[in-house]
C-alpha cells in the first residue's frame, strides 16, 4: 500500500503523510477481519451432487467430436467424482458448497444436476446414485 500511495502522489508532498497514516488503520482492520474469518469453522459443508453427463453429439465422419461439457464442468467431474453408474451415465460428486451451487445453477435438460439425499447421508454414494431418478427430474 505504501508504494501505491507514493506512486499516486508522485512528487507532491501535500497530504502524503496523512494518506500513509490513514492506510495503517485500514490495513490493520483488513488483517483483523482476515484473521477472524480464518478462525471460523467452515459454514458451508461439502455436498453430494448427482450429475448425468450429456450424450456426445453425433458427428459425421470428417467432423471432429465436440465435448458437450465446458472445461469447468469436465474438470469438476474429474476432480470430485466419488461414484459412477456407467449404464445410466451418471456420477456422484462430493463438492464444496459453492461448486454445488454453480453446478445446480448451470443444470439443464441435457445435463441434469441434483443434490443427493441431503437427509440420508448414511447411504453410500453408489447406492444413492443408483436410486436417483434423473429421468423424472423436472426443471422449473
Find out whether 123 and 117 touch, Cβ atoms under 8 Å: yes
Terminal Cα-to-Cα distance of the chain (whole angstroms):
48
CB atoms within 10 A of CB 80: 20
| Long-range contacts from 76-85, C-beta under 8 angstroms, 24+ separation | 76/103, 77/51, 77/53, 82/48, 82/125, 83/124, 83/125, 83/126, 83/128, 83/129, 84/129, 85/126, 85/129, 85/130
Tell me the backbone φ, ψ of residue 18, rounded to 5 degrees.
-65, -40
Task: Tell me the C-alpha distance between 116 and 131, whole Å.
Answer: 9
Domain ranges of the chain: 2-39, 47-131
Q: Is the pTM of this model over 0.85?
A: no
Per residue in 86-130, pLDDT (tens digit) is: 888 889 999 988 899 999 998 888 888 988 866 555 667 777 777
Q: Tell whether the model's pLDDT for residue 80 goes beyond 50.
A: yes
Which is more confidently placed, 130 or 82? 82
Q: Tell whether the model's pLDDT for residue 75 goes beyond 90.
A: yes
Per residue in 9-22, pLDDT (tens digit) is: 777 777 777 877 77
pLDDT average, residue stretch 76-90: 90
Residue 138: what pLDDT?
A: 42
Residue 140: what pLDDT?
A: 33
Amino acid at each position: 500500500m505504501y508504494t501505491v500511495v507514493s506512486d499516486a502522489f508522485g512528487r507532491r508532498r501535500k497530504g502524503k503523510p496523512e494518506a500513509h497514516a490513514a492506510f495503517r488503520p485500514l490495513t490493520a482492520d483488513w488483517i483483523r477481519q482476515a484473521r477472524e474469518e480464518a478462525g471460523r469453522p467452515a459454514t458451508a459443508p461439502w455436498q453430494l451432487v448427482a450429475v448425468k453427463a450429456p450424450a456426445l453429439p453425433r458427428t459425421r465422419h470428417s467432423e471432429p467430436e465436440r465435448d458437450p461439457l465446458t472445461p469447468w464442468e469436465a474438470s469438476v467431474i474429474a476432480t470430485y467424482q466419488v461414484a459412477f453408474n456407467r449404464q445410466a451415465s451418471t456420477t456422484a460428486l462430493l463438492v464444496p458448497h459453492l461448486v454445488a451451487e454453480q453446478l445446480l445453477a448451470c443444470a439443464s435438460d441435457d445435463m441434469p444436476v441434483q443434490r443427493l439425499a441431503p437427509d440420508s447421508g448414511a447411504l453410500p454414494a453408489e447406492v444413492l446414485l443408483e436410486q436417483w431418478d434423473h429421468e423424472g427430474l423436472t426443471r422449473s
